[in-house]
Amino acid sequence: MNKSRLEAFSDGVLAIIITIMVLELRIPEGHEWSDVQVLWPKFLSYAISFMYVGIYWNNHHHLMHTVKKVNGGVLWANLHLLFWLSLFPFVSGWAGESHFAANPMTSYGFVALMCGLAYTILVAAIVKADPENHLLQEATGGTGDRKGILSVIAYIFATAAPFLGQGGVLLSGLLLIAVALMWLIPDPRIERILQQTEVQRRG
Amino acid sequence: MNKSRLEAFSDGVLAIIITIMVLELRIPEGHEWSDVQVLWPKFLSYAISFMYVGIYWNNHHHLMHTVKKVNGGVLWANLHLLFWLSLFPFVSGWAGESHFAANPMTSYGFVALMCGLAYTILVAAIVKADPENHLLQEATGGTGDRKGILSVIAYIFATAAPFLGQGGVLLSGLLLIAVALMWLIPDPRIERILQQTEVQRRG
Amino acid sequence: MNKSRLEAFSDGVLAIIITIMVLELRIPEGHEWSDVQVLWPKFLSYAISFMYVGIYWNNHHHLMHTVKKVNGGVLWANLHLLFWLSLFPFVSGWAGESHFAANPMTSYGFVALMCGLAYTILVAAIVKADPENHLLQEATGGTGDRKGILSVIAYIFATAAPFLGQGGVLLSGLLLIAVALMWLIPDPRIERILQQTEVQRRG
Amino acid sequence: MNKSRLEAFSDGVLAIIITIMVLELRIPEGHEWSDVQVLWPKFLSYAISFMYVGIYWNNHHHLMHTVKKVNGGVLWANLHLLFWLSLFPFVSGWAGESHFAANPMTSYGFVALMCGLAYTILVAAIVKADPENHLLQEATGGTGDRKGILSVIAYIFATAAPFLGQGGVLLSGLLLIAVALMWLIPDPRIERILQQTEVQRRG
């Protein structure tokens, strides 16, 4: 089976998800700065969600690069991931609209968590479809894998924290931003630490 | 004629159909769980429609894989299929919005039926365009074909059942979910039964 | 310059234009058939516009097939065509919303006319960019060319007719449907007549 | 890393940005010409923004044509550019909705400025990823580079001018149109002047 249409379809869906989120930024009726200032939570939510979808596209891009065989399981695991990613516009809009209230933040954390799990399932389905592909083993193990586990743990806390009140909501938001930055910025220190642990584990 | 642009355009339209359905999930004004709970019929409707469009993309992907020749008839049969698929966001939204009332369910069943028929027409147009392609005959006959016929019969019942009252609406919904699952889950038992009948018919 | 990205971008824009038109079919609040019946002008308008955009995609597909050289002029002529096509959702929605009132019909005819002219300009830009391409001359002249001229004349009448009152509006609608069918149905009789005239003109 | 998916994703996002802007042209409730006439600022804003996004697609197309190596930095610089471009529908709609009031014009100029800077960053990231690529040096330096610098200066003035009152707003609008035309029309005189200065600088 051909992986190029899987990439093309995923690119299409991700491109639409990342772009329709901007439709949640409703055009204000007035034309004063104050009319736009009230939109700041939506802008912030949009920017963070844009980063998230961008990170998924980026990782998906890297992951597919090493894939050689695609089967039915991989197609469905990919659609499952796209389903959860497609809920980002909803939870992103709700979080912004509600000025980051507790329940919307929990929802955002939950969708981020499900995306993280769906990505893990996709990786597993890909590895299962082509167990001999050493390049793939390399690419999906190691640092990327550890970042993935760290992210899922952070998402669980981000989902649960808002139940603890206003401080929990703030923690949830900080965790979600921290995960985005962890994937975004290739921080040499973090990379080094992760690599050292890697070396120790392997050695 | 080149099939790659047909695939690219179909991928684009399917990616948009599957993604804009999420826009029907209007962001609630409040930020209580109760504000989201009222959206459950829309979520359910969205998830099922996402599966449906995903199944069509999946089958379209497989079908096109074996195609070698594309002519004007195939292009129009493909656009005809895309037209009916493009009505999924409408009937899906209406079914969810109305909490699965009878008429919206009939509409949903009808659109599913027309998509099923349009797909059958597309397959026929493809076979007619390239009658010598044995790989195609193989791919479009057999199990896939039987699943297709079963689906169309189920869609006819799903369209008619809601006229029988509340029980009929439920039956309609269950039929639509059952068809989705039949395509989604490669149930070994169903596969075996279908293959056996296949063998008997051929033998 | 590479024509594949021009095709990809055009496919993307056309796929979005053809699909977002369905968003104009607002989901009714009630769940009676009468709630949907009032939408019939919008459905009709959607179906015809879907055909129009589909025809443009189809013709664009054929045209690009023969193209070998793409330059800046071709890129801009293509964007110019996409601009006018992007107004279809607006005029289509207005025509349906107003139950085919005179002014919306004139607007629809005008956008159809501008698309027809923009397509002619694109063909001219392509021929100018590669005057040695005989395959292209063949593909853009002859029957297709005559259909194009007939269409533009019909669009002019479709734009002007609604000013004559209710009968003119009807004429406008019939002309627009007739043009769509002329491109859609490869009527052997019309084809034969056009080919004969062609032969006489060439002979 | 493969540049084709970067192009495909960018094409997808740009195609969506350029097309969803038409959704801001809300269908009027009445069917008189006066109902459409009030939309002229939105039409004008849409046409100019369509040109802007088209120019970016065009330049992106040319830029990517010469690229051979793509790394993580290029991917993120590209997403950063897409982020700012994705705000065009918002500022374009606001500018049109407010009949080109001062603050919306400043916002439009600011987004145009950020897009210009993001494009410059993308070019720098591409050059850094492949410093040996002479074709790239050629393509990103010279006339294109100067047009880029002129554009950024014009954007700064377009952002600042609306603070000076109604005349400033007009100046801002004219500057934004002038920049679009500078990229759109390959004015031989401007080209010649720019080339001469280029020759003098190099000679």
- Secondary structure in 3-state letters for chain B: CCHHHHHHHHHHHHHHHHHHHHHHCCCCCCCCHHHHHCCHHHHHHHHHHHHHHHHHHHHHHHHHHHCCCCCHHHHHHHHHHHHHHCCHHHHHHHHHHCCCCHHHHHHHHHHHHHHHHHHHHHHHHHHHHCCCCHHHHHHHCHHHHHHHHHHHHHHHHHHHHHHHCHHHHHHHHHHHHHHHHHHHCCCHHHHHHHHHHHHHHHC
Q: What range does the domain containing B110 cover?
A: 3-202
Q: How many C-alpha atoms does D161 have within 13 Å on its Cβ side?
A: 22
- Secondary structure in 3-state letters for chain C: CCHHHHHHHHHHHHHHHHHHHHHHCCCCCCCCHHHHHCCHHHHHHHHHHHHHHHHHHHHHHHHHHHCCCCCHHHHHHHHHHHHHHCCHHHHHHHHHHCCCCHHHHHHHHHHHHHHHHHHHHHHHHHHHHCCCCHHHHHHHCHHHHHHHHHHHHHHHHHHHHHHHCHHHHHHHHHHHHHHHHHHHCCCHHHHHHHHHHHHHHHC
Tell me: pLDDT of B189 over 90: no
Assess contact for A112 and A176: CB atoms under 8 A: yes
Where is average pLDDT lowest: A99-103, C88-92, C195-199, D50-54?
Answer: C195-199
What is the maximum alpha-carbon separation in chain B?
Answer: 64
CA B54 to chain centre: 8
Q: List Cβ neighbours of B90 (8 Å cut-off, separation of 6 or more).
A: B111, C22, C25, C27
Structure tokens at A110: 């939950």
Q: List Cβ neighbours of A8 (8 Å cut-off, separation of 6 or more).
A: B7, B8, B11, D8
Please write the tens of the pLDDT for every residue from C68-116. Answer: 778 778 888 999 999 999 999 999 999 998 999 999 999 999 999 999 9
Tell me: pLDDT of B117 over 70: yes
How many whole angstroms separate alpha carbon B43 and alpha carbon C181? 39
What's the average model confidence in pLDDT over D53-62?
86
Residue with tokens 């018919």: B201
How many whole angstroms separate alpha carbon A55 and alpha carbon D80? 12
The verdict on a CB contact (< 8 Å) between C75 and D65 is no
Assess contact for D110 and D100: CB atoms under 8 A: no
A25 touches chain B (CB under 8 A): no
D116 touches chain A (CB under 8 A): no
**What DSSP line would sit under D167-189, residue for residue?**
HHHHHHHHHHHHHHHHHHS--HH
A50 backbone dihedrals φ, ψ, rounded to 5°: -60, -45
Angle CA B43–B46–B50, to nearest 5: 140
DSSP label of D101: -
Computed on alpha carbons and rounded to an integer, the radius of gyration of chain A in Å comes to: 18
> What residue type is D176 in one-letter code?
L
Minimal-distance CA residue of chain B relative to C32: B103
Q: Select from D77, D167, D92, D79 the least CA-distant residue to D126.
A: D77
Q: How far is CA C88 from CA A51, A156, C155, C158, D148, in A?
A: 33, 46, 14, 15, 33
Tell me: pLDDT of B107 over 90: yes
Assess contact for C50 and B86: CB atoms under 8 A: yes
Higher pLDDT residue, D136 or B174? B174
C111 touches chain D (CB under 8 A): no
Q: Which of B1, B98, B107 sits opposite C65 (nearest CB)?
A: B1
Computed on alpha carbons and rounded to an integer, the radius of gyration of chain D in Å comes to: 18
Query: What pLDDT tens digit does each residue of chain A (203 aa) get?
Result: 567 778 888 888 998 999 888 888 888 888 888 888 888 999 999 999 999 999 888 888 878 877 877 877 888 899 999 999 999 999 999 999 899 999 999 999 999 999 999 998 998 888 888 877 776 666 666 555 778 888 899 999 999 989 988 889 899 999 999 888 888 765 555 555 555 555 555 54
How many whole angstroms separate alpha carbon B60 and alpha carbon B80? 13
Minimal-distance CA residue of chain B relative to A91: B27
Does an H or E element contain D24, and which? Answer: none
**In chain A, what residues touch D83 (CB-CB under 8 Å)?**
47, 50
Residues 52-81 of A with CB under 8 A from B: 72, 75-76, 79
Q: Which of D76, D82, D103 sits opposite A32 (nearest CB)?
A: D103
C104 touches chain D (CB under 8 A): yes
What's the average model confidence in pLDDT over D10-16?
89
D188 touches chain C (CB under 8 A): no
Interface mutation target, options D11, D56, D92, chain C, most CBs of C under 10 Å: D11
How many whole angstroms separate alpha carbon C96 and alpha carbon C22? 12
Number of structural domains found in chain B: 1
Minimal-distance CA residue of chain D relative to A12: D12
How many whole angstroms separate alpha carbon D75 and alpha carbon D3? 9
A12 touches chain B (CB under 8 A): yes
Quick one: what percent of chain D has pLDDT higher than 90?
31
Angle CA B97–B98–B100, to nearest 5: 110
What's the average model confidence in pLDDT over C13-32?
87
A139 touches chain D (CB under 8 A): no
DSSP label of D163: G
A28 touches chain D (CB under 8 A): yes
How many whole angstroms separate alpha carbon C84 and alpha carbon C33? 35
Quote the pLDDT of residue B199: 56
Please write the tens of the pLDDT for every residue from D152-201. Answer: 999 999 999 899 888 898 999 999 998 888 887 655 555 555 555 555 55
Where is average pLDDT lowest: B74-83, B194-203, C161-170, D40-49?
Answer: B194-203
The verdict on a CB contact (< 8 Å) between A20 and D16 is yes
What's the average model confidence in pLDDT over C53-74?
83
Q: List Cβ neighbours of B33 (8 Å cut-off, separation of 6 or more).
A: A103
Tell me: pLDDT of B193 over 60: no
What is the CB neighbour count within 10 angstroms for residue B134? 9
Give the number of beta-carbon pairs within 8 Å between A and B: 78
Tell me: pLDDT of D97 over 60: yes
